[in-house]
Structure 1
Amino acid sequence: MSSSFQVPQQPVIPPRSAGEADARPPRGPATLWWFPPVVNDRAARTTAMLVVALSVATIVESLVGWDAAAVVLNLLLFLGFVLRVLAGPRFDPFGQVSVRWLARVAFGEPVMTAGPPKRFAQGIGVVFSGVALVLRLVGWPVAADVVLLLLVVAASLEGFAGFCLGCRMFGWLQNRGVISPDIASDCAVR
């Protein structure tokens, strides 16, 4: 009885074209912390709406005196921003819900836009939610709530009006030479 054992062949992946080179994640360990160069603008908007909801819930918990709950919610907000900055929506629950379901339900088909300005905007979210968390932890909940209110305004502009304040700041910094002009900054790659 002869056994013909064959080693399965790896699928042949065609070489990437110049425009496609950045759109696919790299292979290996670098894949973990890879941010896509092009993102779904509508998913970013729905993620911003979820950020508004979590920020408002954090502020409400703080105002009713549930400080421990406010710290936990603020921490979750901060961690979500960190995850989105590091790897886009890949590991973030809000990003996953937005990309897989919520964006399509709320807005329809995806509209692709440049990733770097969106990543910059998420970085601003890291700063604001992180400052609010530190203020909350050192016993200044009112100051923390004010910082989160500023975050609510920026996230509301993105989520409900489609105006990305962080993207505008990115473009402004790029026009002044602070950010390299080689980085794709158009928020309308459609």
Structure 2
Amino acid sequence: MANDNLDCPVDFVTVDEHRARLVAFVVLLLAIICFVTLNWGLSLFMLVDFILRALNLNKYSPLSFIAGWLLKASGRKPKPVDRAPKRFAAFVGLVFSLAITIALLTGLFTVARVLLAILMVFAALESLAGFCAGCYVYTYLKTFGLVR
């Protein structure tokens, strides 16, 4: 990150930034569709995919698989970045997707749309600008002693 005051999580394992950004773009598209249709099945799909990625089971993640296939077909060279901020962001996405799914299943459509809008903003920032808000969130959580 450009800001030296940030204390991003690190685990010294790398992932492809292009793949992570493409996954975030697909999440953005799915969230937009879910926002319009209020389809709980779509939010459940995102939830399962976020769970897989948060647990480092990317090889089973449909979104990661699709992104990897598209990148391989495009011939784009991998750009290694540390995995931990992306994994932390996946955990945050998991929490949002769980809340969205519960809101949709219980008929709280306005709540679901607000949560989807927040998810869309962060997915757009990651996918279109390469800005990972996870480092900022992590820094605040660490400041308040909520994470190590």
1:121 aligns with 2:89: yes
Matches within 5 A, 1:50-89: 50-62=26-38, 70-89=39-58
Q: Deviations over 1:89-145 (max 9, x none)?
A: 21011101112323773x931111111111000000001111111111111112101
1:139 aligns with 2:107: yes
Q: Name the TM-score, length of structure 2 as normaliser.
A: 0.83
Alignment partner, residue 91 of structure 1: 60
Q: Name the TM-score, length of structure 1 as normaliser.
A: 0.66
Seen in structure 2, the aligned counterparts of structure 1 residues 152 and 104 have a Cα distance that, compared at 3 Å, is farther
5+ long unaligned stretches in structure 2: 1-10
- Which structure shows the higher helix fraction? 2
Alignment partner, residue 6 of structure 2: none
Q: Counterparts of 1:161 and 1:103 in 2: how far apart (Å)?
A: 22
Seen in structure 2, the aligned counterparts of structure 1 residues 86 and 59 have a Cα distance that, compared at 3 Å, is same
Q: Counterparts of 1:72 and 1:120 in 2: how far apart (Å)?
A: 24
Seen in structure 2, the aligned counterparts of structure 1 residues 163 and 139 have a Cα distance that, compared at 3 Å, is same
5+ long unaligned stretches in structure 1: 1-21, 24-36, 63-69, 181-190
Larger radius of gyration: 1
Cα pair 2:25 2:123 within 8 Å, conserved: yes
Q: Deviations over 1:58-93 (max 9, x none)?
A: 11112xxxxxxx011111111110111112421011
RCO higher in structure (CA 8 A, sep ≥6): 2
Count of aligned pairs between the two proteins: 138
1:43 aligns with 2:12: no
Cα pair 2:56 2:87 within 8 Å, conserved: no
Q: Work out which of the residue numbers 132, 139, 148 in structure 2 matches 1:164.
A: 132
> What is the percentage of aligned positions where both structures have the same residue?
32
Q: Counterparts of 1:77 and 1:175 in 2: how far apart (Å)?
A: 30
Q: Counterparts of 2:102 and 2:114 in 1: how far apart (Å)?
A: 13
Please report how far the alpha carbon of residue 176 of structure 1 lies from its aligned counterpart in structure 2 after TM superposition: 6.5
